Amino acid sequence: MEQSETEAIVSAQRGHFESGATRDIEYRRQGLVRLRDAVQANRGRLVAALKEDMGKPAWEAYLADVGTVLSEIDLAVEMLEAWTEPRRVRTPPYLIPASSSIRPEPLGVALIIGPWNYPFDLVASPLIPALAAGNCAVVKPSELAPATAGVTAEIIASAFDPAYVTVANGDHRVASALLEQRFDHIFYTGSGTVGKIVMEAASKHLTPVTLELGGKSPCIVEPDVHVWHAARRIAWGKYFNAGQTCIAPDYLLVNAAVKKDLLAALRRAVKAFYGDDPAKSPDYARIVNERHFERVLRLIEGDVVVGGESDRDSLYIAPTIIDNVTPEHPAMAEEIFGPVLPVIEYESLDEAIRFVSEREKPLSLYLFTRDSGKKDRVLAEASSGGTCVNDTMLHFSNSALPFGGVGASGFGKYHGRFGFDTFSNLKAVVERPFWQDVYLRYPPYLKMTGAVRRIIRHVF
């Protein structure tokens, strides 16, 4: 895609936005309904494309890339009027008589750049609040999931005029050409390295950005857990989509008193999920491409207690656990984004909290304990974008919760109303009547009464 093409796309969308069409609530609702109908009509094609791109099991593909999108659309359609209504807020006594409100207004033209690991959900889920808020949007899916990107383009084209919403498919050169344009908001999901490039490009136009990045999400396990339940929930979160999930448990911090039992339960859970040979399981995904296959494979070294097998031809890496990992291990140097779980032992919760707090703030943190005091300590002392207690990843699926990172794991929130607010200007409005005025606010100030002047001298 040439620079002139991206200029034409953005120009057409800016013209459509300035026409005022997207400010109409019913226009937004109809767009969301058309999107829902198009996704429903193509859900089978989406599942097949996700299988083609990265071997996703049908249930995982539907659950994480299709079902979540349909749920978000339904919520936005249901709540659209409530979200767009002015929000009355308190007016302080010194402004009375007056009323104060927050009035959401659309930003303009948004750019949404998605990743390859959930290639439909992570462009459609930001698109939904962008449209609900009254914006136009350009969607850039990942070229590393080409089959899904193609179906995504067809879904969008069937539901929208390109002056309203369009898909720009292609490699990094297309993304670079788009980033040269002036948008009113950029929403990027992906790596921190590319996130810096996006932010630098946005700064040239002072465009606000939302960065949904990743990081090494820790999973802390205390001795008082139900070991089998904890193991199943950890294994599910880690090996869902073959570990290619930004909120997957990245490494395991396990108390020495429960480590032996937990590792045995994790081994049992992997077998229960995927059988004796996970390579033959229809429920286990594959690595997205050979470059990532090689990257993940290099991290498997040391005391491998589960898995470790691989097959380059099918891009298969087994569900793997590495015990007795040190902070210097290769798997601790970067976000793993694959089915490899390093295990680090600790003696006290203080040690675990310190280990997490000394590192970059993660996108998610997982804690397994029955002790409410320990839970409160970890929630208070270990910062993260989101947290699950006694489970993994489920916070992402609750649209009543904001989803996003903190620090190096990103900034800005979305899902439900939080996404609507992200793509809106929350305009502050104060309204006053003419029937009363306060003379003290106006010069000349020397005409104030003696009592008022004495108060001012006392204050200043």
Residues identified as active-site: 212, 246
Q: Max alpha carbon distance in the chain (Å)?
A: 90
Please tell me the distance from the alpha carbon of residue 59 to that of residue 99, in angstroms, as a whole number. 51
Tell me, what amino acid is at 154?
E
> What's the number of CA atoms in the CB half-sphere (13 Å) around residue 270?
24
Can you list the alpha helix ranges (DSSP code H) found in 42-135? 43-54, 58-61, 68-84, 121-132
CA 314 from centre of chain: 29
Burial of 460 (0-12, 13-18, 19+ CB in 10 A): exposed
Contacts of 253 (CB under 8 A, 6+ apart): 218, 219, 220, 221, 344, 346, 352, 355, 356
| Torsion sign over Cα 407, 412, 416, 417 | positive
**Tokens standing for 60?**
């995982």
E strand segments, 268-328:
303-306, 310-311, 316-317, 320-323
* Structural tokens at position 179: 């980033």
Phi–psi pair at 33, nearest 5 degrees: -65, -40
DSSP letters, 189-227, are ES-HHHHHHHHHHHHTTT--EEEE-----EEEE-TTS-H
State how far the Cα of 454 lies from the Cα of 145, in Å rounded to an integer.
Answer: 72
Q: What is the CA radius of gyration of the chain?
A: 26
